[in-house]
Structure 1
Amino acid sequence: MSVRLRWLLVVLGVLALGVPLTIAFLRTHERVTRTEHLPPQGEASYNPLYVLGQALRADGITVHSRPRVDLATMSLQPGDTLVLLQDSATLPAPTARALLAWVARGGHLVVRTPPPSEEALLANGPLLEALGVDAVDYGSACQPFHVRDDPHHVEFCRGRRFWAEPPSGMRVAREWGDVDEYGDDAGRVFVRLRHGQGSVDVLADLDFMKGLGRPAELDTSNAAKGQYVDGLHDKAHRDLTRYVLAPRYGQGSMWLVYGAQPPSLWNRIFYQGWPVWAPLLLALLGWLWRRAQRIGSLLPSPAVERRSLLEHVRASGDHLLRYGKAPLLYDAVRRAFLARLRRRAPTAAALAGEVQVQAIATLLQWPHGRVHTALTAPASHDLTGLRERIRLLIQMRNLL
């Protein structure tokens, strides 16, 4: 078979299999486009006013985001706007006085009432008290907010309503339509107070400014039940936000205090770093399990080989005594004594016989007979005499 014929058969085989499979795939599958809404990442995950800040920056306005009010680092200027999403009840009295002094110079402060809670009902905080605002809690009562294309629209469903009795030097502005305040018999949800050259907006809540809500087209809730789409995804919320920010819009910087803490390092490690620490933890537990002692009854320790030198010497001596080699033990001890005698008293070691015995007796100040007995070999089977002579030789060696 030629090469051309072989390649022709391969091409025909691929076409015979590929064309039917392609036709079947195109008839049984349909291309569908689906939009997935991913959770917010980075600053948007902990800053509810992140979307508002991005929109203001796109409009050419300078925006500063802060987690909390810190007047030492915030250079508030007349004409600036401060949106205080942080709980105003947590502000100390000196900070509240400083903010009102800045408003009197021409600033615009947007503040909300404390969130509904049992603790929040005990005190309104020094800022709201200085404004003459007494916040009350009526649960989840919503305020109708009529919009042209949404006649049943409601707002301020999750905020604390309030009553405003501004002190002397402040007055309620007539800027929301033709009414002084906005609310009903249950309480107010919005009031704009004039203070000096600036103004303070007090609202029941600022959820309409947040950017963490769902898109409006995905909403299937019932507005009459107070379930609505929050955040700047709603067109009515954009208009309301623009109205609230209108007094100093474009005149100065926007300060957005979102009152939230970014996730801590341990939080990020635990929730985002688990692909790293989870395998390492399993490896560590496996290593500890492998190195741990086996669970069960205690086993006796294995016998350890004896390596004591004294035991070997004693065993060698017993062996020599058992087989009638006692003179070898005496000769070994006598040679050890004479070796030290040559080092310590070479003159006495050079002598022999009785002269040497007399010299050793004089050197050690021992009786002549005792030294003579020690240097005389015992009989082969005299174990008592052997022990006595070895004892005397060891004593004489230690005295040298």
Structure 2
Amino acid sequence: MNRHTLWWVGALLVALLSVLGIFLYLVAKPYQEQIDHGPSPAAQANPYLAAEMFLRERGINVSHAESLAVLPDIEPHGHTLLLFNDRSRMTPRQVDQVLNWTRAGGRLVFVAESLWDEQSKQSNDLLLDRVQLHQSLSKDLKESPADQEKDPYPKLTKLYLEDEDAPAYAGFDTDFHLDDPKNLAQAWANSAKATHMMQLAYSLGSITVVTDAELWKTTAIAQYDNAWLLWYLSADTDVTLIYNTEHDGLLTLLWRYFPQAIVALLALIGLWLWQAGVRHGPLQAPAANGRRQLQEHLRASADFMLRHNGQQALLQALQQDVLRRARRRHPGFDQLNVAEQWLALSRLTRQPTRAISQALSPVPNRRMSSADFCRQVAHLQTLRNTL
């Protein structure tokens, strides 16, 4: 290919590129696109991050903790404590600590976590029981269709304030209802059917109980007047928010970032165990048959059954054997109730009914001490041998 031909090929390529550029300039239009990468790691770790940011924007100092260990360092006056964490393991001492802090002038806001049990006259929420409020299911309340028809927003909770014509609306979970049997509450907020927030004075402080705190999480705080309500409950104070955050465990983090090292470590441990398990020296000769006695066989069999079946299985077998012998000795034994069976066994074995009740009581699931286990076996064997 000569120089003249190369010049024409180059000119043709330049012309084609020019035409393509003009076409793209006339046809192509720039545009912007937003790609949602989901919540940030900080928002995923803290479900109340938006609530904290909202309060800080309004000049409120906000801190958070995962336990009540920070409470002794918090001055009650001018401070609000938000208990949004799981309190199922809260001890009576911690309940006293929180209420004493509130009594000294603090504001306490917490979520009712358990339903009131009419039979036991308590709930599993120690803090809720101490403030003498009860929580129940809204579906258990009497229906009031007329009131619901008048309410344009029956699913929203209304909070009425003085000098305000319209109420504030909050998105509480309407499945739960708060009840005040002692008439201690000074303010409350209701939906069309149930009450979802109550406020009561507590010496120098105040307590606010709500049915849930989901409305203040990042996904719901922007709805209705949810954010305003949180500000209203903590206005003119500093805020400490206590909640549990989920963290990956050490083993999860190690496996995520160092899988090869963990596999190598497990391989080394396996090799070490294999090497340590290699037998050194000659095999031990089996014991002579003449040395083995019946007592050794019985003890070995008992140890085997205890290891594999547990204490409960052995005790239950003894109890069943005692009852089986009692049926043979006393016709109609199965038709008797438990107390009558114990009286019948007392007459047959000449043992006190207290000893019989202890021996035949249901076996506990927990592991018994060696002394208690031997004592129980001895009682059952005495009854069985007597029968």
Q: TM-score, normalised by structure 1?
A: 0.50
Equivalence for 1:234: 223
Structure 2 contact 197–209 (Cα < 8 Å) conserved: yes
Alpha-carbon distance, 1:52 to partner: 1.8
1:277 aligns with 2:284: no
Query: 2: CA distance between counterparts of 1:62 and 1:10?
Result: 73
Which one of the candidate residues 163, 177, 188 is aligned to 2:195? 188
Equivalence for 2:217: 210
Distance 1:117 1:189, change over 3 A: same
Q: Which moved more, 1:158-167 or 1:93-102?
A: 158-167
Query: 2: CA distance between counterparts of 1:6 and 1:279?
Result: 63
Query: 1: CA distance between counterparts of 2:214 and 2:24?
Result: 49
Structure 2 contact 122–129 (Cα < 8 Å) conserved: no
Please state whether the residue corresponding to 2:77 is helix, strand or coil: coil
Q: Which amino acid aligns with 2:223?
A: D
Which one of the candidate residues 173, 179, 188 is aligned to 1:163? 179
Distance 1:95 1:151, change over 3 A: closer
Query: 2: CA distance between counterparts of 1:158 and 1:24?
Result: 61
Q: Which amino acid aligns with 1:157?
A: D
Equivalence for 2:79: 80
Question: Deviations 1:154-213 (Å, cap 9, x if unpaired)?
Answer: 62126632212358xxx423xxxxxx32226854201111111211111111122111x1
Structure 1 contact 78–105 (Cα < 8 Å) conserved: yes
Alpha-carbon distance, 1:58 to partner: 3.5
Structure 2 contact 115–123 (Cα < 8 Å) conserved: no
* Pairing of 1:274-313 with structure 2 (within 5 A): 277=259
Across the aligned residues of Structure 1 and Structure 2, the Cα RMSD in angstroms comes to 4.4
Please state whether the residue corresponding to 1:77 is helix, strand or coil: coil
Distance 1:262 1:8, change over 3 A: same
Equivalence for 1:17: 16
Distance 1:243 1:143, change over 3 A: farther
Q: How many residues in Structure 1 have an aligned counterpart in Structure 2?
A: 247
Alpha-carbon distance, 1:13 to partner: 4.4
Equivalence for 1:265: 250
Question: Deviations 1:197-232 (Å, cap 9, x if unpaired)?
Answer: 211111111122111x1xxxxxxxxxxxxxxxx1x2
Equivalence for 1:105: 104
Structure 1 contact 87–115 (Cα < 8 Å) conserved: no
Which one of the candidate residues 156, 166, 174 is aligned to 1:144? 156
Which one of the candidate residues 156, 172, 176 is aligned to 2:185? 172
1:31 aligns with 2:43: no
1:63 aligns with 2:62: yes
Structure 1's unaligned 5+ residue stretches are 174-179, 214-229, 286-400
Alpha-carbon distance, 1:135 to partner: 1.2
Please state whether the residue corresponding to 1:191 is helix, strand or coil: strand
Alpha-carbon distance, 1:278 to partner: 7.8
Alpha-carbon distance, 1:82 to partner: 0.7
Query: 1: CA distance between counterparts of 2:87 and 2:46?
Result: 17
1:46 aligns with 2:45: yes
Query: 1: CA distance between counterparts of 2:91 and 2:74?
Result: 18
Q: Which amino acid aligns with 1:188?
A: T
Question: Deviations 1:316-356 (Å, cap 9, x if unpaired)?
Answer: xxxxxxxxxxxxxxxxxxxxxxxxxxxxxxxxxxxxxxxxx
Structure 1 contact 84–257 (Cα < 8 Å) conserved: yes
Structure 2 contact 197–210 (Cα < 8 Å) conserved: yes
Query: 1: CA distance between counterparts of 2:116 and 2:19?
Result: 67
Question: Deviations 1:122-153 (Å, cap 9, x if unpaired)?
Answer: 824111011111111237997424699x9997
Structure 1 contact 139–158 (Cα < 8 Å) conserved: no
Question: Deviations 1:69-117 (Å, cap 9, x if unpaired)?
Answer: 2246643432111111113443211111111111111111111111789
Distance 1:183 1:260, change over 3 A: same
Please state whether the residue corresponding to 2:76 is helix, strand or coil: coil
Which one of the candidate residues 207, 230, 240 is aligned to 1:255? 240
Distance 1:57 1:139, change over 3 A: same
Q: Which amino acid aligns with 1:257?
A: I
Structure 2's unaligned 5+ residue stretches are 142-153, 268-387
Structure 1 contact 67–261 (Cα < 8 Å) conserved: no
Equivalence for 2:93: 94
1:129 aligns with 2:129: yes
- Percent identity (aligned): 18
Distance 1:254 1:266, change over 3 A: same
Q: TM-score, normalised by structure 2?
A: 0.52
Query: 1: CA distance between counterparts of 2:122 and 2:7?
Result: 90
Distance 1:236 1:44, change over 3 A: same
